Amino acid sequence: MRTSSVKALNPQGFHKVVYHEWGSADNDRVLVCVHGLARNSRDFDDLALALSRDYRVICPDIVGRGESDWLPQGVNYDLPRYMSDMVTLLARLNVEQVDWVGTSMGGLIGICLAALPGSPIRSLVLNDIGTHVSKESLQRIVQYLGDHRFASLAELEQYMRNTYTAYAGLSDKQWQHLVQSGHRKISDTEYGLHYDPRLVDATREAQHQDVDLEPFWNMIQCPQMLIWGQDSDVLTEETVARMRQQRPDMDLYQIPGMSHAPSLMEEDQIKAVQLWLRNNRNKNQETGR
């Protein structure tokens, strides 16, 4: 794994966006993996390692998370900012096209970018996120965001295990990885989660109305794969049905009994993404895309 950064612009100045990279830097087949709202790039370590033989894999920490800078004002954490940062990152990478894997918020960013004319996104994998997110779901998300403090990493781990129920199938070693990459040390006796607590400011502003990206969905030209945890409270059966109605060529991977959002750290999930990307790549080669 290699670590780099790029400077991006915000209303008050510049901020650093850190990204981690796997695979050959000379590989022109690039995969960008973008994490969920309160997560970070290291969630993709297992997936990136598995795909690094076929891809140059890029996993950014979205601003306000992980090793990236925090914005001066919490209200500026929004989709247009994230989209702008990702365009800056793609310019740094100097590539014409990328494949995109997005978990939750990372999928929303992918939908918005893929819908734009001339988009560099060649294929789109959406992990438990769709074109509609209810205000009720946003209100539940607000409840777990914030400035949580823990007296020990063991206490923080227990909080994570209680909060991220979709990760129940992970090994103790994988949980330790999530704890190590998902915490920030506040003092010798206090730990926090590895994101800016002011993320809640922007989410609180947005929680009073549904997120509706259906107009964007109708504009996307690239192939799509949707991963759906069937017990998800963010991606509902109604939204999945609506997306399939509009895009019957969309591939759907269902995970029974899974809540929001699948970790993409379990072997069957990794293999599903790997197989879909490989099959889609072969189709593109056959058609000369």
- Write out the chain's pLDDT in tens, 289 residues: 999 999 999 999 999 999 999 999 999 999 999 999 999 999 999 999 999 999 999 999 999 999 999 999 999 999 999 999 999 999 999 999 999 999 999 999 999 999 999 999 999 999 999 999 999 998 888 888 889 999 999 999 999 999 999 999 999 999 999 999 999 999 999 999 999 999 998 888 777 899 999 999 999 999 999 999 999 999 999 999 999 999 999 999 999 999 999 999 999 999 999 999 999 887 776 665 5
At residue 37, the pLDDT reads 96
SS3 of the chain:
CEEEEEEEEECCEEEEEEEEEECCCCCCCEEEEECCCCCCHHHHHHHHHHHCCCCEEEEECCCCECCCCCCCCHHHCCHHHHHHHHHHHHHHHCCCCEEEEEECHHHHHHHHHHCCCCCCEEEEEEECCCCEECHHHHHHHHHHCCCCCECCHHHHHHHHHHHCHHHCCCCHHHHHHHHHHCEEEEECCEEEECECCCHHHHHHHHCCCCEECHHHHCCCCCCEEEEEECCCCCCCHHHHHHHHHHCCCCEEEEECCCCCCCCCCCHHHHHHHHHHHHHHHHHHHHHCC
Residue boundaries of the structural domains of the chain: 2-135+213-287
At residue 287, the pLDDT reads 61
Superfamily of domain 2-135+213-287: Alpha/Beta hydrolase fold, catalytic domain (3.40.50.1820)
